[in-house]
């Protein structure tokens, strides 16, 4: 089977790190590059973290390009209160030695999408959509060349996790999310409605803890460190695991269910800025622009994650 080509646009981030590990562990995905963005922490730190993950997994053949340092429309926000000041607090990982590539992440995306055969490349977005939005502004022709975009972002019934109404990735750069949603690209969204079903319960964490290898060990250390915030916040049986749902959808889409709907982004109301307005019941005449997932098979998701992490060094 020919491996499916993907570029991962990311702001590592604990759940980003585990999503990247999941992708690296699959022989069905070919990760072309990691492109980083300011989000959970600064773009300099997300690039450093991306290099650390690749070195941990012994995949320094994959280049890292640093992208945008700030959002399009407002002051940068971060999620260091969840992920720690490094973005990946928990494990004691060595400083990376592999270099960040000199070409800006936005320019890399434009060239990579133009150079790939049409509809051969998926972009997996784990953070704010700033890089792709800027690429679309500079080179609108790339929208028709992508096979699709798979993104963690938004919410319908779950409210927000950074404001009462907005999910973090969309809130961190709502203008960018709006540009991508209006671009015509085939878009699949894994929102909080799905990720809040995928809880890292003690039993699931114990299965990961029993795995061999330094990647699994680092994943557990990160989940334990960041999970304390979510456990205190939500009072659930476990902390939600967001970004790996994007990779799981690529590998096993029947783990999720949703529908084609219109999703719009609130931009101007300070109470709802960054909110994803989901026309679930088709009550407007706005055309569908996203496959919006709503349900997840959490046990199947963690089975997939556990099997794949066991393959890594």
- Render pLDDT for 14-23 as a digit per residue (tens, 0 to 9): 999 999 999 9
CB-based contact 105:38 (threshold 8 Å): no
The length of the chain is 313
pLDDT (tens digit, 9 = 90+) per residue, 118-127?
999 999 999 9
Model confidence pTM above 0.95: yes
Long-range CB contact pairs, 84-87, < 8 A, 24+:
84/225, 84/226, 85/41, 86/41, 86/45, 86/49, 87/11, 87/12, 87/13, 87/14, 87/40, 87/41, 87/45, 87/46, 87/49
- How far, CA to CA in Å, does 146 sit from each of 50, 121, 142, 184? 23, 6, 7, 10
Cβ-count burial 122-138 (b if 16+ within 10 Å, e if not) = bbbbbbbbbbbbbbbee
Q: Which amino acids are annotated catalytic?
A: 242
Average pLDDT over residues 229-239: 88
Give the confidence band of 1 by pLDDT, cuts at 50, 70, 90.
Answer: low
What does the pLDDT read at residue 93? 93
Q: In order of start, what are the domains of the chain with their CATH numbers?
A: 4-310 (3.90.245.10)
Task: Enumerate the β-bridge partners of residue 188.
Answer: 150, 291
Average pLDDT over residues 60-72: 97
């Amino acid at each position: 089977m020919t491996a499916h080509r993907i570029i991962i646009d990311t702001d590592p981030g604990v759940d980003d790190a585990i999503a990247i590990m999941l992708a690296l562990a699959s022989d069905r995905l070919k990760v072309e590059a990691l492109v980083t963005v300011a989000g959970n922490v600064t773009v300099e730190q997300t690039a450093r973290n991306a290099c650390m993950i690749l070195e941990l997994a012994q995949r320094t053949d994959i280049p890292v390009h640093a992208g945008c340092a700030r959002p399009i429309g407002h002051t940068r926000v971060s999620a260091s209160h969840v992920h720690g000041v490094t973005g990946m607090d928990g494990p004691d990982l060595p400083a990376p030695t592999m270099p960040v590539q000199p070409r800006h992440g936005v320019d890399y995306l434009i060239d990579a999408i133009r150079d790939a055969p049409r509809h051969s490349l998926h972009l997996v977005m784990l953070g704010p959509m700033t890089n792709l939005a800027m690429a679309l502004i500079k080179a609108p022709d790339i929208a028709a060349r992508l096979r699709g975009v798979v993104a963690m972002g938004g919410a319908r019934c779950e409210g927000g996790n950074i404001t009462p109404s907005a999910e973090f990735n969309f809130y961190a750069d709502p203008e960018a999310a709006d540009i991508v949603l209006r671009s015509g690209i085939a878009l699949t969204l894994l929102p909080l409605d799905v990720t809040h079903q995928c809880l890292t319960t003690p039993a699931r964490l114990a299965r990961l803890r029993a795995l061999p290898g330094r990647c699994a060990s680092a994943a557990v250390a990160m989940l334990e460190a960041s999970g304390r915030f979510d456990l205190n916040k939500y009072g659930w049986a476990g902390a939600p695991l967001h970004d790996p749902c994007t990779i799981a959808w690529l590998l096993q889409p029947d783990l999720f269910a949703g529908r084609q709907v219109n999703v719009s982004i609130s931009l101007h109301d300070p109470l709802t800025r960054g909110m994803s307005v989901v026309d679930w019941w088709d009550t407007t005449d706005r055309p569908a622009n996203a496959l919006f997932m709503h349900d997840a098979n959490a046990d199947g998701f963690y089975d997939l994650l556990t099997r794949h992490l066991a393959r890594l060094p």
